[in-house]
Chains A and B, each alone.
Chain A
């Protein structure tokens, strides 16, 4: 039952997002250096952190899948990566908008943070084509888990490598929350919480949808066994085992 406590979670997410955006615009002071454009960071940075954590979460679920052989872990991993990819699109778009306002360019190729995130995004963009290219569901789940673990390990390594890079043109927010003034720090932390809640809610929505689909398939098998025997179209998305 993935739909359990989904309503409470959705309400908490909506409230926290409204609170975070209200704090960003009406409470947090304008940055002395960047001015009003800095407001993008209350959206962009939490989204990037949550997306990267989502990729790592996908890797952890994939480890659980390989250890236990339980297909449910593969689906959890798939949905975690799927949701992180959606946030990743948001990160790239909002980052580009910020770069245009701050630097006058939509994209800067010699900035390690931007390029490293793009590399991670493109790496995970291969996840679904990889799944789609393998027909056997067992093999598909196993290969996808190996891919998710390898890439999941690459995410923190990449993060550390960027930290060690010399070019510090990109503003450092995560490592310097202690240096942020109180109202800015509070706004940032509330935004991070809101984005985390949004990710968890969307993950649960998707898992609930997959569960409903599996239940419907099971019901169809019981009511019309002949119909259920017809092979479905090939898909990159795994499905929950139906009873």
Chain B
């Protein structure tokens, strides 16, 4: 009953559409950036594990007297 009393100006659907297009573009950009961020995170985890592995090898080599 409340909704029926709301009066929207003429062509308001077009104005809403234009602003939603802008919002949509921004959201798509944010989604792309989020994907990139996830990829960077995955790559960092991978490199971190690699660094740990290499640290382990050099540490072991140092203890046993090998290079």
Q: Does B14 contact A (CB under 8 A)?
A: yes
Q: Are B25 and A216 in contact (CB under 8 A)?
A: no
Of the listed residues B11, B43, B47, B54, the one surrounded by the most CB atoms of chain A closer than 10 A to its CB is B11
Given A30-B9, A90-B21, A202-B29, A40-B40 contact (CB < 8 Å): no
Please report B residues at the A interface, Cβ cutoff 8 Å.
9-12, 14-15, 17-19, 21-22, 25, 29, 33, 36, 40, 43-44, 47, 50-51, 54
Q: How many residues of A contact B (CB 8 A)?
A: 29
Q: Are A90 and B40 in contact (CB under 8 A)?
A: no
Q: Are A101 and B29 in contact (CB under 8 A)?
A: no
Q: Are B22 and A223 in contact (CB under 8 A)?
A: no
Q: Are A224 and B14 in contact (CB under 8 A)?
A: no
Q: Does A219 contact B (CB under 8 A)?
A: yes
Q: Which of B22, B47, B50 makes the CB contact (< 8 A) with A94?
A: B22
Q: Does A89 contact B (CB under 8 A)?
A: yes
List A220-238 residues whose CB lies under 8 Å from chain B: 220, 223-224
Q: Are A93 and B21 in contact (CB under 8 A)?
A: yes
Q: Are B54 and A223 in contact (CB under 8 A)?
A: yes
Taking CB atoms, residues of chain B closer than 8 Å to A188 are: none
Please report A residues at the B interface, Cβ cutoff 8 Å.
21, 30, 35-37, 39-40, 43-44, 47, 86, 89-90, 93-94, 97-98, 100-101, 202, 205, 209, 212-213, 216, 219-220, 223-224
Q: Return the chain B residue nearest A101 by Cβ.
A: B14
CA distance A40 to B21 in the complex (A): 11
Q: Are B18 and A40 in contact (CB under 8 A)?
A: yes
The 9 closest A-B pairs by CB, nearest first: A101-B14, A36-B9, A94-B18, A40-B18, A101-B11, A97-B18, A37-B11, A93-B21, A223-B50
Q: Are B19 and A43 in contact (CB under 8 A)?
A: yes
Q: Are B9 and A43 in contact (CB under 8 A)?
A: no
Of the listed residues B10, B14, B17, the one surrounded by the most CB atoms of chain A closer than 10 A to its CB is B14
Given A37-B11, A101-B11, A216-B21 contact (CB < 8 Å): no
Q: Are B29 and A43 in contact (CB under 8 A)?
A: no
CA distance A216 to B41 in the complex (A): 10
CA distance A205 to B25 in the complex (A): 16
In the complex, besides A35-B9, A216-B40, 4 extra interface pairs with C-beta distance below 8 angstroms are: A40-B18, A100-B14, A101-B15, A216-B44
Q: Return the chain B residue nearest A210 by Cβ.
A: B36
CA distance A223 to B36 in the complex (A): 22
Taking CB atoms, residues of chain B closer than 8 Å to A93 are: 18, 21
Taking CB atoms, residues of chain B closer than 8 Å to A90 are: 21-22, 25
